[in-house]
Amino acid sequence: MSELIEVRPDETFDVEAVARWMSRQESLPEGLPEVRQFPGGKANLTYLLTFSDGSELVLRRPPVGPVAASSHDMSREYRVLSRLWKSFDLAPRAHALCEDESVIGAQFFLMERKEGVVVRGDVPDRFGGGEDEESNRKLSTVVIDTLADFHAVDPAECGLGDLGHPEGFLERQVGGWSRRWEKAKDEDFPLADEVGNWLAAELPASTVTTLLHNDWRLDNMAVSPDDPGTATAVYDWDMATRGHPLADLGTLMGSWFEPGEAPANLSMMPTLAPGWLSRDAAVRRYESRSGRDLGDVDWYLVFGAWKLGVILQQIYIRWLRGQTRDDRFESLGDGARALFRLAAARRP
């Protein structure tokens, strides 16, 4: 039920080449599909392929233009989604991976379409348009409860027991995002460096390992059109790995804004809608649902806001350098700096 648009002119691909490649694979639809684009998201690109027999597949590929070597890993996301569905049925099942970049200029994979309502910055009219407190509360609880349920999945049961390298995970995360900030910044912003240094100096002990999504937010989920408290899908698994589960909680809380915190033009979730759980209440709900010790949660709250700031800066610098013409990204530099300030303010 997600909205669809005509493919953006600078994000087209050779549909005939994809159809030829598909014809050489097993158990895939045949013929030339109609292609439309899912407009949401600011990184990987996602398209709906509809075939003459009515069957549908979703194509995922990296963004157009130069990208960091370690990001937008299609083979990693394919591996996760070709297995995770067995234990976590909200994850779409991946069917085929194309590693031959000559087909469309990048690797891509095909997966099933899982439908539902994707809620972004505003609550849609079908759920009360932001005025229905019960619906708003359900949206805030479903994103927390589904995260706790995901973290309860045994990686080994779905063939992901060797995913990533959980040893030293947090240290690598801080170091890696610090390096990404250095490569993406368009001007010095000392507060971002200061927070990064604080995170490195205050690393908590990492004694628990679960599967991680690494970009958990409400707009990376879909809910039932009949009940905003029922999840139907979770998307965007390209950064999935294993590590400490509070890294996911911190990422989610990075955009769980309280009044006065949200950067201009960056309402990623309707967290200010009446009935929506406060950040503290959401953290405590996760604690109750998961049964985990949240003694170090403040560190993860700082990390989540700081990491999101780096992500926005990475997207913004691509726009600034002319590597994308998507004008949604023009204000993300200011958004990144606002998040760095928010991360600094969250330090205990």
**Among residues 26, 225, 262, which one has the least CA distance to residue 116?**
225
SS3 content of the chain, % helix, strand, coil (to 5): 40, 15, 45
**pLDDT digits over 108-124, tens only?**
999 999 999 999 889 99
Q: How confident is the model at residue 131 (pLDDT cuts 50, 70, 90)?
A: very high
Q: At residue 260, what is the residue type?
A: G
**pLDDT confidence band for 42 (50 / 70 / 90):** low
Average pLDDT, the chain: 93
- pLDDT greater at residue 73 or residue 317: 317
Using alpha carbons, select from 315, 333, 331 the residue that is nearest to residue 323.
Answer: 315
pLDDT band at 280 (very low <50, low <70, confident <90, very high): very high
pLDDT at res. 329: 85
The domains found in the chain, sorted by start residue, are 9-111 (3.30.200.20), 125-345 (3.90.1200.10)
Residues across the chain: 348
pLDDT at 65: 66
Q: What is the mean pLDDT of residues 45-63?
A: 96
What is the chain's Cα-based Rg?
20
What does the alpha-carbon distance between residue 236 and residue 213 come to, in Å, rounded to a whole number? 8
CA 68 from centre of chain? 17
Which residues have C-beta within 8 Å of that of residue 337, sequence separation ≥ 6?
A: 189, 191, 192, 309
Q: Strands (DSSP E) along the chain, which ranges?
A: 34-37, 45-50, 56-61, 94-98, 108-111, 210-212, 221-224, 227-234, 241-243
Per-residue pLDDT at 2: 55
Which of helix, strand or coil describes residue 125?
Answer: helix
Share of the chain above pLDDT 70, in %: 97
Poorest-pLDDT segment among 228-237, 250-259, 320-329: 320-329
Express each pLDDT in 149-202 by its tens digit. Answer: 999 999 999 999 999 999 999 999 999 999 999 999 999 999 999 999 999 999
* Structure token pair of residue 22: 């598909």
